[in-house]
Structure 1
Amino acid sequence: MNETVICAVGNVATRPVFLELASGASARFRLAATSRYWDREKSTWTDGHTNFFTVWANRQLAANVMASLDVGHPVVVQGRLKVRTDVREGSSQNWTSADIDAVAIGHDLARGTSAFKRTYKGETATAGAPSQPEPTWETSPADPAAQRAPEPAGVT
């Protein structure tokens, strides 16, 4: 399909809002993406124009957004860009909105740290302990049996 896929880096500008729709869970928030440039005359970094996007997350991504993001958090958002133009009631002015239907959202680790917690199918981001244990990827070099890949369940 011919869609415009973008990656936007910025800050969460509004508190995420959770919506339970007929099509499933959805969350939205505003993203502020400000360009920065080096001003040679002042010998300092200067803020440029700020673009605002409404970011939409659906299903499990929506639940994870609600559990993970707050105003001011630096994030990276990847998704489909949709620009809409409309005329509002009682006004002759055009109204334009730039929305991102998010595929992936994460904290910008160039600007801070984050702790990852995996969610499992059917589990919300704030639910209790996972139904399956987290796999152990680190192995001891002294234990050759630990270096083999584990057998899939049900295979003999």
Structure 2
Amino acid sequence: MNETIVCVVGNVATQPVYRESAAGPSARFRLAVTARYWDREKSLWADGHTNFFTVWANRQLAANVAASVEVGQPVVVQGRLKVRTEVREGQQQWASADIDAVSIGHDLARGTAVFRRDPARAGKPETPSATARPEPNWETPRPTEGPADEAAQPSPEPAAVT
């Protein structure tokens, strides 16, 4: 309930690893997120510190990540942040920042992409109610010329007051 939801923009740092298990498919990859800042002395943009996140995707998102995401591509990831610390025998304590992804997409501010629906799910409705009612017509109708339009225009002669 009180989870930390984050949205991060960065570059894919490792090739996604896809696995099938009894719990369902999963995929993971490392995401590099580098801060950018304006260097006033040099009058140019410079790179700041880079944070690395391990992004985890499950079920259909995992399959789509494996088919769509490659090293170096800019992506936007939204999901639950989980920071873990661990101490192993004979080693120093280390921390890991993981994102349990809810949504992953290419960053269209830095390139183009072509979206394709998964052919295996193309004929299946997303929700049971998707087949219950038709999609509404969102287009706004254009005004037509006619008596209503003529009445709305001001008349050339002022009306007489009695």
- 1:97-140 CA distances to partner (integer Å, 9 max, x unpaired)? 000000000000000000000126xx27xxxxx447xxxx9x9x
SS state at 1:48 partner: strand
Match of 2:51 in 1: 51
Match of 1:24 in 2: 24
SS state at 1:24 partner: coil
Q: Taking structure 1 as reference, are residues 89 and 20 closer, same or farther at Cα in structure 2, changes over 3 Å only?
A: farther
Residue 63 of structure 1: how far off its partner (Å): 0.3
Match of 1:111 in 2: 110
Counterpart of 1:32 in structure 2: which amino acid? A
Match of 2:5 in 1: 5
Match of 1:149 in 2: none
Match of 1:147 in 2: none
Q: CA RMSD in A?
A: 2.3
Distance 2:65 2:25 in 1: 11
Distance 2:26 2:66 in 1: 10
**Larger mean Cα displacement after TM superposition, 55-64 or 13-22:** 13-22
Q: Higher strand fraction: Structure 1 or Structure 2?
A: 1
Counterpart of 1:58 in structure 2: which amino acid? N
Distance 1:78 1:59 in 2: 16
Which protein is bigger by CA-based radius of gyration? 2
Distance 2:59 2:37 in 1: 37
Question: What residue ranges of structure 2 are gaps of 5+ in the alignment?
Answer: 125-136, 142-162
SS state at 2:25 partner: strand
Question: What residue ranges of structure 1 are gaps of 5+ in the alignment?
Answer: 125-129, 142-156
Residue 89 of structure 1: how far off its partner (Å): 3.0
The TM-score, its normalising length taken from structure 1, stands at: 0.77
2:41 aligned with 1:41: yes
Distance 1:65 1:34 in 2: 22
Match of 1:84 in 2: 84
Identity %: 73
Distance 2:2 2:22 in 1: 27
Counterpart of 2:35 in structure 1: which amino acid? S
Residue 23 of structure 1: how far off its partner (Å): 1.0
Residue 43 of structure 1: how far off its partner (Å): 0.3
